[in-house]
């Protein structure tokens, strides 16, 4: 009797199966779009538009879920969840372009989101070079020159120990080094500009002479970012996404510097005071749309932007877990995704272990993040993470 099994394949894996089966080239071109299924959500669309989308998808063999109030006329707006194959979306996009009520614009946005979601390789413009993503996961090694960071505070407070740690992480395989002079742990307070500069600039100037990998400065302050860029830094990692210092965007545009835009709810001092979300993924996605638009409006090119959903920055345990599970949804923004899970408190909550006992929990969460679309892992334990990345990339990428 013939063996029968259900296949769990990505588009590229299905394409490979067709090749093994020696499917006719023309037939493959017709069938492959039928084998790629997507769920697309539109937040708060006019009910009349949502109902048109639903009817069009039904006519194509797909479907769309809307609020029952949008059908009986009791609601003017609704969220809309569309379900269909790539082929069905192609037909939907064509039909919506002919419709009123702004549906032509919706059509373009659906097409753009699907295109970005399916993009296998993106890149970051570093000025003199480009870093590609998609073929392998990148590792960002953390060096905190602070007395009070939650994990390694005080270990690298003097310049020599910080410099030695940078060299150590590069030797272990870090693709990027992230240097910070201000703690962002929950409850932490601001550090004066002069103190932050005193901590980070001597280290940056020293290691820049020897280190060839990109260096990132973890700062919310435009003055620190400017001095760091003058000293040879390649990337600015602003956990506030311009919220702390409105002058930051101007500095980044002036230097044409790449930037990490991170989601945070509140400030490090207040962020863990009972954070709540309407929908954590939708809320963060909307935040990034606004911040990316702001960055572009202020002269920062889109290909200079990395996004970070901000694990632990104004998030509950269940929020952090949901973000890792659904990380791939941020692919529709079309930018590399960075995530920092290393030794975070939600891992301690799951394992009931202190910071020093969270290595394996960190590696497990990073494995899930890679599978779900992470491009850059921000870590303390570079050597161990490098082994993890090599194995998972070999299997997945």
Q: Which long-range contacts (C-beta less than 8 Å, at least 24 apart) are formed by 70-78?
A: 71/47, 73/47, 75/47, 76/46, 76/47, 77/44, 77/45, 77/46, 77/47, 78/44, 78/45, 78/47, 78/50
Query: In this structure, what token pair is assigned to residue 390?
Result: 């090599």
Distance CA(355)–CA(99), nearest Å, equals 56
Query: In this structure, what token pair is assigned to residue 379?
Result: 């870590």
Distance CA(249)–CA(235), nearest Å, equals 13
List residues with catalytic annotation: 344, 378
Distance CA(121)–CA(105), nearest Å, equals 26
Full strand arrangement of the beta sheet holding 37-46 = 37-46, 77-85, 63-66
Distance CA(100)–CA(52), nearest Å, equals 10
Distance CA(130)–CA(103), nearest Å, equals 37
Separation in Å, CA 6 to CA 1, 3, 346, 397: 16, 10, 35, 22
Compute the 3-state secondary structure of the chain and give helix, strand, coil in percent, each to the nearest 5: 50, 15, 35
Q: Which long-range contacts (C-beta less than 8 Å, at least 24 apart) are formed by 29-34?
A: 32/86, 33/85, 33/86, 33/87, 33/90, 34/85, 34/86, 34/87
Distance CA(181)–CA(266), nearest Å, equals 20
């Amino acid at each position: 009797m013939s063996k029968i099994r259900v296949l769990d394949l990505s588009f590229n894996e299905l394409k490979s199966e067709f090749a093994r089966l020696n499917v006719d080239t023309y037939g493959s071109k017709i069938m492959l779009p039928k084998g790629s299924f997507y769920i697309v959500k539109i937040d708060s669309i006019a009910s009349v538009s949502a109902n048109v989308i639903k009817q069009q998808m039904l006519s194509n063999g797909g479907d769309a879920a809307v609020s029952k109030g949008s059908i009986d006329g009791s609601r003017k707006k609704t969220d809309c969840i569309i379900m269909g194959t790539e082929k069905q979306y192609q037909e939907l996009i064509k039909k919506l372009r002919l419709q009123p009520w702004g549906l032509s614009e919706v059509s373009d946005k659906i097409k753009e989101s699907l295109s970005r979601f399916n993009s296998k390789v993106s890149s970051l413009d570093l000025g003199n070079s480009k870093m590609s993503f998609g073929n392998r996961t990148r590792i960002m090694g953390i060096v905190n020159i602070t007395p009070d960071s939650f994990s390694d505070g005080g270990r690298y407070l003097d310049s020599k120990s910080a410099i030695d740690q940078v060299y150590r992480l590069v030797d272990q395989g870090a693709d990027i080094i992230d240097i910070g002079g201000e703690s962002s742990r929950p409850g932490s307070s601001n550090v004066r500009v002069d103190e932050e500069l005193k901590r980070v600039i001597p280290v940056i100037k020293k290691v820049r002479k020897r280190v060839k990998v990109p260096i990132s400065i973890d700062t919310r302050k435009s003055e620190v970012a400017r001095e760091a860029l003058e000293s040879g830094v390649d990337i600015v990692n602003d956990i506030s996404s311009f919220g702390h210092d409105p002058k930051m965007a101007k500095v980044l545009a002036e230097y044409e510097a790449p930037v990490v835009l991170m989601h945070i709810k509140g400030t490090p001092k207040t962020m863990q005071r009972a954070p709540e979300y309407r929908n954590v993924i939708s809320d963060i996605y909307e935040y990034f749309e606004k911040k990316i638009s702001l960055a572009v409006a202020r002269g920062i090119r889109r290909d200079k932007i990395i996004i970070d959903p901000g694990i632990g920055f104004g998030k509950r345990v269940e929020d952090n877990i949901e973000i890792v599970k659904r990380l791939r949804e941020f692919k529709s923004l079309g930018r590399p995704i960075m995530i920092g899970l290393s030794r975070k408190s939600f891992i301690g909550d799951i394992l009931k272990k202190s910071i020093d006992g969270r290595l394996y929990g960190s590696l497990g969460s990073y494995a899930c993040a890679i599978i779900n679309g992470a491009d850059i892992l921000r870590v303390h334990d570079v050597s161990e993470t490098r082994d993890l990345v090599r194995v998972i990339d070999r299997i997945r990428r």
